[in-house]
Structure 1
Amino acid sequence: MIIFFISSRDKTPIKIIKDELKGKMKKDQGILDSKNLPKEEQDLLERIEKKTRERNVNNVTRTNAYFEIYQKYPEIHWAFLGHMVSRNGGWNMTDLKGDFLTRLLTKKERNDFFAFIERGNWLIFQDAYPQLLLYSESIKKKKSLFYLLPYMNISTFMESIWNYFWRKSDSYVLTIALVINEQNYLEKRVIQNPIYQKGVLNTIEFKLQDVLSFNHILFPYRKNSLAGQTVHQFQSLHERILLGKRLYAVLFQSKELLNHFVQWANEHRHTGSRKDYWPHIFNNVNEGIPGIPYQLRLNACKLRWGARKIYSPDLSSAWKNVQHQEAEKGDWFSDWKIADYLSEQNETQIIGEIEDEYCKTLERLELTALAKKVITIFN
């Protein structure tokens, strides 16, 4: 069993950040025009925007871009957290074209689910990656450039956080702040969006995923080993932020395990296929034979004798790249008390063991897919 204990932190850093955020709430910066900046800074913003567009093509390009940042700046813990969570986003996308969900969901439902995951993945990247690039530029120039964040439509909340990080190098505070920022950023743009509410979040199929517990965030390490957490109450902003804190603990509270996670990521470039972490069960080539009835293949996370592997395609063969509409403008930050999430709970247990639960999930999902197929045949 993998258990981490989160100890309490000094409250002074949180008070400093809160005081600064209180001051920002009294100011209304309005919409800032980068044309008022010196030419050098305008050019920098254009380069960051261009590079962000180049890497924000699909889940694979985004996921790999996060890892490149972490490899270059390991003090930016969120970049590795973002990388590992984004891998899971890719696996969820390709599941929609894999063996199980093609039997459980209609084509429209699968398209709606993909649009929901892809939009969130795209939005987070176009908000977070420019911040990471601006940090890189600040390092190169050896001075803080975070006063440029408002010109990039980044929340004023993050301007305070980055300035604090520049002074104190507190990787924990920066990571949890980015979790807070990205989940609040998604809240109105995706979670509360009527289109996704109707097409995804309020559907029986989405609730079915929670019943089946097919909502795991998996962090592979060593050979075939998995750690992670399970998502519940996805529509709750509060629960998503707490989940982000738990996921961070799973990755970073143990130096030895962190090294294993990073080594695994180094050795397994993200493709979107679940074959990346369990090639003994999944294959990115469909081994199924048309016309042959589906038979149970799994038993205790092992393939039954003679069974074909479960189809889990690469992202490139599952989905085409999407041209997104421009991100909605607006700063989510309105209450300095949001900084309370930056505090750590006292002696909170974080259990990272997930393999047994995930194995049971796969078996339940396979049985459900088979049962629905059988019902469809006899109706």
Structure 2
Amino acid sequence: MLRKWITNHNQYSMLKAELKNKIKEKTTSTLSKEERKLILSIRDKTKQKNRNNVTRTMAYLEYFKLHPEIHWSLLAHLVSRNAGWNMTDLKGEFLTRLLTPKEQNDFYLFLERGNWLIFQDAYPQLLLYEASKKQNTSLFHLLTHLNVSRFMEPFWMHFWKNQSSSLLTTALIINEQNYIESRVILNVQYQKNVLDTILFRLQDIFDLNHILIPYETQNTKKTTFVGGTVHHFSSLEDRILLGKKLYHDLYSIKSRLNYIITWTEQHPHTGSRHDFWPHLFTEVKKNLPSSNQMLPHTPIELNKHSPRIYSPKLKNVWEDWTHSAAEEGDWFKDMTMFPLVKKKINHKEENVLNHYWNTIEKLEIAVFAKKLFTRHSHY
């Protein structure tokens, strides 16, 4: 135990020193012809896979199958699934009745921009690692040429030598959340149109920000979930700690991890919540359940005769969006984030299934109340 503590302490001390050096570093290396060719290839592959939420989400999973030591890729796949479900919710049964078309579009662009940005920053890192494996040599000095933060090179180098998957995952979580902080969360347009209005309203009333990780056990063959809820979406530290918690939930029980991986392989991502609950959601638009045919009180009561909620496939409701180039700049300017590498998380698992079910019930009631109010206002 003492030896492990000393080893970990030494690793953190070395990383801390290397990161401090990176802050001071000004120059970047010149590229050889082969290196320029590799970077162009990585950018091209990233662009091909970054067309929409479905292509990104499946790219993460395909990569994980080839390189299972990169735990972050599986976590990213599962979180990106949730981003897709949130995107299609905007055109689904309830939110189309609670949000204006402009609000739906603004919220979609907010989600899409974050999803796109993270992929175009992270996927080149994954491809550079893949190239390093093929060439059997570290190529991480090229990260800055791919506009990746200087924060990441020491962690990739450490991983290359020690294969510490958990430390690399934590670093990627910290990096990606910092990467979108100024570009999306603190962006004046998104703050005005989404964070201060739509998301604030929906969070406050419906607590919508659930991350669901579905799986089926061999015994029950029923879909269950592990996951968490973002209670303060605009808090950078909260988002990082949630990412660390989700990673712990994902990898803490090996049998459950295997069930989750099996589920992802058996259920290709479409963006529809029908992917995980076909008894509750349908990809075909129907009328909202009538007052004498309300949803069951608990998800346990779900069966094939239950009324189903419209949850479309992403490709049927949102066209591919052409993004402007990512804003330049490196977020890593001081050591403020380093304590979060080691910061302990709350390991207690949420009953995310009950939370999500309560959200569905609240949305259903809100739509019913709005319909009733609209009807009476016409009298």
Cα deviations by residue, 1:169-227 (Å, 9 ceiling, x for unpaired): 11111001000000000000000000000000000553332432221100000031111
Secondary structure in structure 2 of the residue aligned to 1:57:
coil
- In 1, Cα distance between the equivalents of 2:305 and 2:69? 47
1:298 positional shift: 3.9
Displacement, 1:297? 2.9
CA distance in 2, matches of 1:25, 1:369: 51
In the alignment, structure 1 residue 220 sits paired with structure 2 residue 214: yes
1:371 Cα deviation from its structure 2 partner:
1.1
Q: Tell me, yes or no, if structure 1 residue 276 matches structure 2 residue 275.
A: yes
TM-score after normalising by structure 1 = 0.92
Tell me the residue number matched to 2:143. Answer: 149
1:77-133 alpha-carbon deviations (Å, 9 max, x no partner):
000000000000000000000001011101100000000000000000000000000
Counterpart in 1 of 2:298? 300
- How many residues align structurally? 367
Instruction: Output the CA distance in 2 between the equivalents of 1:188 and 1:142.
Output: 36
CA distance in 2 between counterparts of 1:294 and 1:41 reads: 66
Partner SS for 1:225: strand
Give a deviation string over 1:7-57, Cα, whole Å, max 9, x none: 98932222111110111122223xx59xx4111111100100000000000
Secondary structure of the corresponding residue to residue 313 of structure 1: coil
Corresponding residue of 1:377:
375
Q: Secondary structure at the match of 1:156?
A: coil
Question: Is 1:353 the counterpart of 2:351 in the alignment?
Answer: yes
Equivalent residue letter for 1:343 = K
Deviations 1:316-357 (A, max 9, x none): 0010000000001110001124221111528x4331432122
Show the counterpart of 1:334. 333
Structure 1 residues 91-102: aligned runs within 5 Å: 91-102=85-96
The DSSP-based 3-state class of the residue aligned with 1:349 is coil
2:102 matched to which residue of 1? Answer: 108
- Deviation readout 1:141-168 (Å, 9 max, x if unpaired): 0000000001000000011111111111
The TM-score with structure 2 as length reference comes to 0.92
Task: State the distance in 2 between where 1:67 and 1:264 align.
Answer: 12
One-letter amino acid of the counterpart of residue 224, structure 1: T
Tell me the SS of whatever aligns to 1:336.
coil
Choose the corresponding residue for 2:17, options 16, 19, 24. Answer: 19
Aligned pair partner of 2:170 in 170, 176, 195: 176
Relative to structure 1, the CA distance from residue 46 to residue 356 in structure 2 (aligned partners, 3 Å threshold; closer, same or farther) is same
Query: Residue 294 of structure 2 contacts residue 307 of structure 2 at CA under 8 Å; is this kept in 1?
Result: no
Distance 1:18 1:212 in 2: 41
Specify every segment of 5 or more residues in structure 2 that has no aligned partner in the other structure, as ranges: 217-221
Residue 229 of structure 1 pairs with residue 228 of structure 2: yes
What 5-or-longer segments of structure 1 have no aligned partner?
1-6
Identical columns (%) = 50
The amino acid of 1:265's aligned partner reads T
Q: Is the 8 A contact 1:14 1:340 kept in 2?
A: no
| Alpha-carbon separation, structure 2, partners of 1:207 and 1:67 | 33
